[in-house]
Amino acid sequence: MNRRSIIATLTVLVSFCNVWAQNVVTFTPGKDTVTINKHIYGHFAEHLGRCIYDGIYVGEENTTIPHTNGVRNDVIDALKNLNIPNLRWPGGCFADTYHWKDGIGPKGKRPSIVNTWWGGVTENNSFGTHDFLNMCELLGTEPYLAGNVGSGEVQELSDWVQYVNFGGKSPMSDLRRENGREKPWNVKFWGVGNEAWGCGGNMTPDYYADVYRKYATFMSDWTNTGGLFRIASGANGADYNWTETLMKKIPKNLVKGIALHHYAVIEWKKKGPSTMYTDEQYFKTMKSAWLMNELVEKHSAIMDKYDPAKEIALVVDEWGGWYEVEPGTNPGFLYQQNTMRDAMIAGMTLNIFNNHAERVRMANLAQTVNVLQAVILTEGNKMLLTPTYHVMEMYKVHQDATLIPIQLNSADFVFNGEKIPAVTASASIAKDGKTHISLVNIDPTKEQAITVDVADKKYKSINGRLLTSKKLRDFNSFDNPANIKPAVFNEAQIKNNQIALKLPPFSVVVLELN
């Protein structure tokens, strides 16, 4: 072999090694002490567009769509398969205009209201407290009730707590029994208002902190072990002063969680289409989604100053992609399709939450059915599962598993001189001893070769699942509902203490190691 050939061969070898070295996941040994709280995998159902009516709830009198007490059976089965740990209701912005007593008692006597936030449509209150809480029992999930602080009074929220949680004799528990429910539901999770900085009242952080203290004080409950899990309305994105003020002014005995809202959005005035987005719009969406990592870290750092023991959870109870509505649909209904871009957002975001599980202990994808980054879409008696659904289903192996801390060196996804990490990952050990690693490659054109160094852990076998598609803009339609679905992934190889694999462009892989 001549000198020129040797140099060419070495160049190829160095280039090959660099490709593998660009993406290296390393297990950090001896620090497996944090649990990935299952409540990170929560969902959100608001009285918005077709999420509740025509999505989850079709009414008891419906004869064309199989249901249980008006709730679609196909939706029930799909959500059960996700093992959803909690479900937030009734909002959102709707929560601070919702008066819970309008939604109890005989349905024919319930007053109608106008949903002033979402489309100006008439709300007949046929889906109320009993309907929601009974559905949660059916799903085997914990309800998360968002209380009305914006337009409601302290007594109204206090009464709601007593109505759903008190087992003894009282005015509200007697009213519950009159309406057909003997035993209380013992609801643990309560949001004290929603987006108080905006649709919840346009409050300042100092004013809201005082309002919160007042409302939380009168939310009495002696039935839940450890008391109510009260969640304060938290910051909008990077409003760090909001978090600082709440942590400084609210006593620890009154709060268990501080919320945070962040959506992956290109621009609020120009959100772009859900399916026919440009390459630039894709990059901007992913850049906005990746911002979640910075937001979680900076809000957590503020919370650490006042709560070094991490007793108060960071609750990201609204997250997901937000685009323009589908052409021809009500702009107030926020109905959008769900492509592989949404799968990228879901996989990346859940990896971020998993890796910050010491502080992030609850989150809620917005929203469950037919709204924003939904996991389910419905059309009449048809139903489909979105790419986001499949990511959530693949990742459910992390629920209540022990986090494996990792170090990640990732290649860059570069567009027009800007860059963000192409690869995100998280890992955990389930209660049955199996290790799971979730990996995401958001680069739409480049395959990513990855090495996983599992340190001192020993594994005998490895298998995996893959979610990708032929095109980035692919989605599941009612004509082709299984266009995108998980497939078997057998490309990962394990030798000694290292795993080697290649992630296809815009893909999610979850590995299981035994």
The domain that holds 443 is classified in CATH as: 2.60.40.1180
Identify whether residues 316 and 456 lie together within a single domain: no
Q: How many domains does the structure of the chain reveal? A: 2
Both 44 and 148 in a single domain?
Answer: yes
Q: Write down the pLDDT at residue 497.
A: 86
Print burial letters for 183-194: b (CB count within 10 Å at least 16), e (below 16). ebbbbbbbbbbb
In the beta sheet, which residues pair with residue 86? Answer: 142
- What is the pLDDT at residue 17? 42
SS3 state of residue 440: strand
Distance (Å, whole) CA 485 – CA 390: 7
Instruction: Report the C-alpha gap between 291 and 445 in whole angstroms.
Output: 22
Bridge partners of 57, per DSSP, are 53, 71
Segment (H or E) for 387:
helix 387-395
Is residue 42 located within the same domain as residue 27?
Answer: no
Backbone angles phi, psi at 503, to 5 degrees: -90, 125
Active site residue 311: no
Contacts of 177 (CB under 8 A, 6+ apart): none
What integer pLDDT is reported at residue 227 of this predicted model?
A: 85
CB-based burial label for 459 (10 Å; 0-12, 13-18, 19+): middle
Given this model, what pLDDT does residue 455 score?
85
Q: Are residues 77 and 222 in the same domain?
A: yes
Around 16, how many Cα atoms within 13 Å sit in the side-chain half-sphere?
Answer: 6
pLDDT at residue 9, rounded to an integer: 40
The answer on 353 and 450 residing in a single domain is no
Beta bridge partners of 498: 453, 495
439 and 345, same structural domain?
no
State phi, psi for 345 to the nearest 5 degrees: -60, -45
Tokens at 261, concatenated = 């809202």
CA-to-CA distance for 235 and 257, rounded, in angstroms? 12
d(CA 438, CA 435): 10
Compute φ and ψ for 412, nearest 5 degrees. Answer: -100, 145
- Enumerate residues 6+ apart whose C-beta is below 8 A from 1: 9
Residue 224: what pLDDT?
A: 63
Catalytic residue among 46, 123, 142, 318: 318
Token pair belonging to 49: 């567009």
DSSP code per residue over 219-271: ---SSSTT--EEEEEEEETT-HHHHHHHHHHS-GGG-SEEEEEEEE-S-SS--
* pLDDT tens figures, 362-406: 999 999 999 999 999 999 999 999 999 999 999 999 999 999 999
Low-confidence ranges of the chain (pLDDT < 50): 1, 3-21
Q: Which domain holds residue 485?
A: 3-31+405-513
475 shares a domain with 433: yes
Which regions of 84-139 does DSSP assign to beta strands (E)?
A: 86-89, 113-115, 121-123
Q: Could you read off the pLDDT of 259-285 as tens digits, one per residue?
A: 999 999 999 999 999 999 999 999 999
Residue 195 designated active-site: yes
* Shared-domain flag, residues 27 and 81: no
What one-letter code names the amino acid at 456? D
* Spatial contact of 378 and 75, defined as CB atoms under 8 Å apart: yes
Note the pLDDT of residue 339. 98
Q: How far apart are CA 512 and CA 514, in angstroms?
A: 7
Could you tell me which of 217, 130, 214, 215 has the C-alpha nearest to residue 175? 130
Torsion (CA) 216, 239, 317, 54 in degrees, nearest 10: 110
- Which of residues 349, 379, 401 is at a domain's end? 401
Tell me how long the chain is.
514
For 203, 295, 416, the CA distances from 282, given in Å and listed in that order, are 34, 20, 12
Domain termination residue (choose one: 360, 386, 401):
401
Q: Catalytic residue among 46, 123, 142, 195, which?
A: 195
So what's the pLDDT on residue 33? 86
Can you give the CATH number for the domain in which 237 is found? Answer: 3.20.20.80
pTM of the model as a whole: 0.94
Q: What is the CA radius of gyration of the chain?
A: 24
**Same domain flag for 286 and 299:** yes
* Beta strand 498-503 pairing with 448-453: antiparallel
| pLDDT digits 0-9 by tens, 315-368 | 999 999 999 999 999 999 999 999 999 999 999 999 999 999 999 999 999 999
